[in-house]
Amino acid sequence: MVFSASGLSTAPVSNVLDEGKYVVRIASAESVLSAQKKTPGIKMDLVVISGPVQNSEARIENRHIFSTMYIANEGQGHDIGLMKLAKLCKAAGIDQTDDLELNDLVGKEVVATIKHRMYNGEAQEDVTAFQKYTE
C-alpha cells in the first residue's frame, strides 16, 4: 500500500533552529503574568529574517520564535530580568524608561542569540540575548 505525502522528500528532519545568531523582527510584544507565581513578563513573537545555514535542515525565513522575558518582582531574578530588558531596549534603539511602551518594540529588527534548552525531553529554542542589528 502506498501513502502519498506531497513534500515529504524535502521536509526537514527537525523544526528546531540551530543555535546561533539570527536577525529577527519583533512582530508583537505583550505584557503577561506567569501562571504560578504571577511574575510579570513580556511575551514576544519574533520573525526570523536571516540566520545561519541549518544543520537540521529547518527552514528559517519567516519562522516565528516565541519568547517570554520574565522580570521578577524582587531579588536576583529582578536584576537579571531588568538587565535583559535593558539589552533589548538598547538593541532596538529604544530609550530605557521605567514605563516601556511595548508597541515601540514592534517592527524593530535586532539580532537574537538562540540556544537550546530541554523541555520534556525535547530541545526547544531559547532566546538568550539581543544585540543591535546593523546592515
All domains in the chain, ordered by first residue:
15-132 (2.40.50)
Confidence of residue 11 (pLDDT cuts 50, 70, 90): low
Q: What is the distance between the alpha carbons of residues 4 and 23, in angstroms, rounded to a whole number? A: 36
* pLDDT at residue 49, as a whole number: 92
Averaged pLDDT score across all residues of the chain: 86
The answer to whether the pTM exceeds 0.75 is yes
Amino acid at site 49: I
Q: What is the distance between the alpha carbons of residues 24 and 106, in angstroms, rounded to a whole number? A: 11
Amino acid at site 127: V
pLDDT in tens, 14-43: 577 888 999 999 999 999 999 998 999 999
Confidence of residue 10 (pLDDT cuts 50, 70, 90): low
Confidence of residue 51 (pLDDT cuts 50, 70, 90): confident
**Strand (E) or helix (H) holding 77:** helix 75-92
Sign of the dihedral defined by the CA atoms of residues 41, 47, 51, 54, in that order: positive
* pLDDT at residue 113, as a whole number: 94
Q: Inform me whether the pLDDT recorded for 45 exceeds 90.
A: yes
Cα angle 45-97-103, degrees, rounded to a multiple of 5: 30
* pLDDT at residue 9, as a whole number: 60
Q: What is the distance between the alpha carbons of residues 41 and 22, in angstroms, rounded to a whole number? A: 22
More confident site: 126 or 9 = 126
* pLDDT at residue 119, as a whole number: 84
